[in-house]
Amino acid sequence: MTAPLQIAIDGPAASGKTTVARKLAGRLHILYLDTGAMYRALAYEALHTRTDADNESALVRLCRDRAVHVTLDAAAPLGFRVYAGTHELKEADLQSNEVTAIVSTIARHAGVREAMVDEQRRIAREGPVVMAGRDIGTVVLPDADLKIFLTASAETRARRRNAQNIATGLTDDYEAVLADVRRRDHLDSTRAVSPLRAAHDAVVVDTGDMTEAEVIAHLHTLVHRHSGVRR
């Protein structure tokens, strides 16, 4: 039996991987999964249960008591729904500033990542998927048909994120966004478990001088070249 198509997209904070992965999956007519949403769900639960983001054992217990899981639903805005226990979390919950401030810290814990990876691999076994995150090509789907690592300078990524914030009605504060991007880069690249890095066989794509449409078109071409898929 042929394994489902797996496309892994990794990259640092604000590299555009979430938007790009979602739109690429749409062009390919397959599932998109942002694994970061799962870590954000646990961060949200940690905040609302007053669980210390540095307390790994407490977070693992929280994972057990209010297990973060994903159900596939083509009718949902993201193509899937994220739950903590029986409670569905909305995108606004997952993207709050409070969640963003602690999610990298929570994701550094080995026990937390082990629980999340099990769920992510289960989803990938169910059907073709474009999966985006920080360690998809290196840990979650090491045998993916195509591994992509999106990157751009911290300044470029901060400008993009700040523009998104302004568009959604948040304050224009480029310097604060840049500081947060650099902080998250440091946390993600220096964590002991599954540090952020490109897989040895990943295609590295610097999006600094590319529009979103150009990035998606380029990745679509890479899918054809590496997997033979024609969609």
Encode the chain (231 residues) as per-residue pLDDT tens digits: 567 899 999 999 889 898 899 899 989 989 898 898 899 999 999 999 999 999 999 999 998 888 888 887 878 877 788 999 888 998 888 988 899 899 989 988 999 999 899 889 988 998 899 999 989 999 999 999 999 999 999 999 999 999 988 988 888 999 999 999 999 899 889 988 888 999 999 999 999 999 999 999 999 999 988 765 544
Q: How far is CA 49 from CA 16, 45, 58, 65, in A?
A: 31, 6, 11, 11
**d(Cα 106, Cα 55) in Å, to the nearest integer?**
9
Q: Which two tokens mark 18?
A: 């979430």
What domains appear along the chain, each with residue ranges and CATH number? 6-214 (3.40.50.300)
pTM for this prediction: 0.83
Give the span between the Cα atoms of 223 and 209, in whole angstroms: 21
Handedness of CA 88, 94, 98, 101 (dihedral sign): positive
Crossing angle (nearest 10°) for helices 154-167 and 174-190:
130
Q: Which whole-number Å values give the CA distances from 194 to 65, 91, 185, 188, in the listed order? A: 24, 25, 13, 9
